[in-house]
Amino acid sequence: MTGQRAALPTHRALPTAEELRLRTDHYVGGRWLVASQRFEVRSPIKWSHVLATVVRGDAATVDAAVAAARAAFPDWSRRTPDERGKHLDRLADLIEAEVERIALVECVDVGMLYRSMRERLVYRAAMNYRFYAQVARQLEEPVWSTNGLWTRVVRQPAGPAAIIIPWNAPFMLATWKTAAALAAGCTVVLKPPEWAPLSCCVLAELVEAAGFPPGVFNIVHGYGDEAGAALVAHPGIRRISFTGSTETGRLIGAQAGRNLVPYTAELGGKSPFIVFADTDLDAAARMAANQYDDAGQICFAGTRLLVEEPIAELFLERFYQAVARHVLGDPRVPETTIAPLIHPEHLARVEGFVERAVRDGARILLGGRRAVEVGDLWYEPTLVAPRHNEQEIVQSEVFGPVLTFQVFRTEHEAIELANSTAYGLAAVVYTSSAERADRVARQLRAGTVWVNTWAARDLQAPFGGIGASGLGREGGQWGIDFHSDLKAIQWREECPR
Ligand code: NAD
């Protein structure tokens, strides 16, 4: 069985570097740092099209950025949350004033759908700054007394923070992660992803326009094993906040351990999508088909479909119908729902997973090939029935439009299968029973469990993974706490005011 998907060929001209009007230099200490070493940034919509060349930072650039962040730290950290919050709110205003430009840049650089960027995600990015400004303003310092010993807990901004982000949703992640650090009173050095650095170039311009004191917000472009590695190893860094692959997360974790620097890691996922027989099957099937959004390049996508046996055939039928509504095409076109993969290397990697699965006895139920009629980097929404649960295709993150399909007979078996990988980022449960939802959710090994929904985010909730999906939590107060040193001030009896 295969879905019938309309394919929209790409023929519209892509914007040139001049049309994008990007400043592609480092932003350090409130100034633009030009360098002769540069790397090319190509568009996944048409790989031969070079969108820009961006400066390539090295250890010396990182030194300069950390020095600027250290110099700016005493003043920034001493400001009140409200003073810092005004800068964050201003940055949010500027982001909202540039919605179209940011949406277009992210669309042609990453392949994210223009429509969702324009209508939702850029606003959410602005909200990240407003939200964290407000969290910091409202935080209280707990005070209590035990047997006449008083304790007050104060949060002290930790110092310069290294922020490293991946190529999927870079604008969202850059704003989310820097917002928490800046609101907490830390200064930041952001290292954007080399495969998709352009929306962070726009961010640098907006940071400059927002009037942050020089050195509070620094951006160093470059490769992970060069600028990234130098940044996380730098002795002037007091916090490392990383989002990316599990493999890189381990490398950075080792470095953070050597320097004894607190580290949060938001890493890969292989999240289960569990469908019980008592659920609204159409809703479940439609949401399951949404796991192909952004060509499956979403860390918390529910990529392992686990369906209760009596409804398995019916579910597949509805799922295929829902997948058939997907439209592969140019992400600038409003009808498109599935865009290209980010990079030829990544496409080859995704393809490799599927080929090895088939060689190892898995069956392709849907897709399983490149969509060459659309363009070079499109891959068909693919569904694989594994031969057994230990296969690589079930156990490893593919990070493409590839889901697996497995059947379970009991609630216990569903939970066992769901918890059987090294990852633990998210899980999705479809059931009409509130008791079952609660019982199952509590037993799932995941930082987030969505019941009868997916990808809904409340910024106040903690977000993060278990096991190979990461360390620590972002979101709400947890984000501020991570960037703070907590100090207990204790005294006897009378409280010194
Ligand atoms: P990646 O680990 O290859 O790169 C991420 C970032 O780390 C890039 O900026 C890169 O330059 C940098 N980097 C690479 N090596 C480094 C090193 N040695 N030292 C310091 N920095 C280094 O990941 P990717 O391919 O860009 O992103 C995809 C991955 O990110 C997927 O695994 C996905 O699940 C994960 N992800 C997780 C979340 C989450 O919230 N858990 C969100 C988005 C993406």
pTM comes to 0.96
**Residue 182 C-alpha to ligand 1 middle, in angstroms?**
21
pLDDT tens-digit readout, 327-373: 999 999 999 999 999 999 999 999 999 999 999 999 999 999 999 99
**pLDDT confidence band for 8 (50 / 70 / 90):** low
**Residue 229 C-alpha to ligand 1 middle, in angstroms?**
12
Of ligand 1's listed atoms, the one at least distance from the Cα of 425 is 41
Distance CA 182, CA 77 (A): 9
Exposure string (b/e) for 415-425, b if CB count within 10 Å is 16 or more?
bebbbbbebbb
Give me the phi and psi of 345, to 5 degrees please. -65, -40
Q: Check 107, 186, 200, 299 and give the catalytic one.
A: 299
DSSP state of 417: H
134 within domain boundaries? yes
Residue 402 to residues 271, 329, 398, 422, Cα–Cα distance (Å): 12, 17, 7, 18
492 within domain boundaries? no
Average pLDDT (414-432) is 98
Task: Give 359-365 contacts, CB < 8 A, sequence gap 24+.
Answer: 360/387, 360/391, 360/392, 360/393, 361/387, 361/391, 362/386, 362/387, 362/391, 362/393, 365/1, 365/316, 365/405
- Residue-level pLDDT at 1: 43
Is ligand 1 within 6 A of the CB of residue 296?
A: no
Distance CA 489, CA 497 (A): 12
Closest CA to 250 of 467, 445, 446, 62: 467
Q: Is the pLDDT score of 9 beyond 70?
A: no
**pLDDT confidence band for 17 (50 / 70 / 90):** confident
37/126 same-domain check: yes
Is ligand 1 within 6 A of the CB of residue 193?
A: yes
Average pLDDT (6-24) is 82
224/371 same-domain check: no
Q: Is the pLDDT score of 200 beyond 90?
A: yes
238/296 same-domain check: no
Beta bridge partners of 273: 305, 428
493 within domain boundaries? no
Closest residue to atom 35 of ligand 1, CA basis: 244
SS3 assignment, position 425:
coil
Orientation of helix 170-184 relative to helix 122-138, angle to 10°: 10
pLDDT tens-digit readout, 222-259: 999 999 999 999 999 999 999 999 999 999 999 999 99
CATH number for the domain that contains residue 421: 3.40.309.10
200 is catalytic: no
**pLDDT confidence band for 51 (50 / 70 / 90):** very high
Give the domain range for residue 372: 272-451
Of ligand 1's listed atoms, the one at least distance from the Cα of 252 is 19
**pLDDT confidence band for 7 (50 / 70 / 90):** low
CB 30 within 8 A of CB 214: yes
**pLDDT confidence band for 493 (50 / 70 / 90):** confident
Q: How many structural domains compose the chain? A: 2
Is ligand 1 within 6 A of the CB of residue 338?
A: no
- Residue-level pLDDT at 4: 45
**Residue 29 C-alpha to ligand 1 middle, in angstroms?**
25
What Rg, from alpha-carbon coordinates, does the chain have?
23
CATH number for the domain that contains residue 482: 3.40.605.10
Of ligand 1's listed atoms, the one at least distance from the Cα of 299 is 34
457 within domain boundaries? no
Distance CA 137, CA 114 (A): 34
Is ligand 1 within 6 A of the CB of residue 294?
A: no
Is ligand 1 within 6 A of the CB of residue 266?
A: yes
407/330 same-domain check: yes
Is ligand 1 within 6 A of the CB of residue 98?
A: no
2 within domain boundaries? no
Of ligand 1's listed atoms, the one at least distance from the Cα of 246 is 32
- Residue-level pLDDT at 6: 59
90/132 same-domain check: yes
57/192 same-domain check: yes
Distance CA 321, CA 1 (A): 10
What does the DSSP assignment read for 112-175? --HHHIIIIIHHHHHHHHHHHHHHHHH----EEEETTEEEEEEEEE---EEEE--SSSHHHHHH
**Residue 308 C-alpha to ligand 1 middle, in angstroms?**
34
220/305 same-domain check: no
497 within domain boundaries? no
Q: Is the pLDDT score of 496 beyond 60?
A: no
Average pLDDT (374-396) is 98
pLDDT tens-digit readout, 159-186: 999 999 999 999 999 999 999 999 999 9
Average pLDDT (256-278) is 98
259/280 same-domain check: no
384/317 same-domain check: yes
343/474 same-domain check: no
299 is catalytic: yes
88/136 same-domain check: yes
pLDDT tens-digit readout, 71-107: 999 999 999 999 999 999 999 999 999 999 999 999 9
List of residues 6+ apart from 155 with CB closer than 8 A? 139, 141, 184, 480, 481, 484, 485, 486, 487
The amino acid at residue 46 is: K
307 within domain boundaries? yes
Residue 42 to residues 59, 226, 344, Cα–Cα distance (Å): 25, 20, 11
58, 168, 234: which to mutate for ligand 1, most atoms within 8 A of CB? 168
460 within domain boundaries? no
134/242 same-domain check: yes
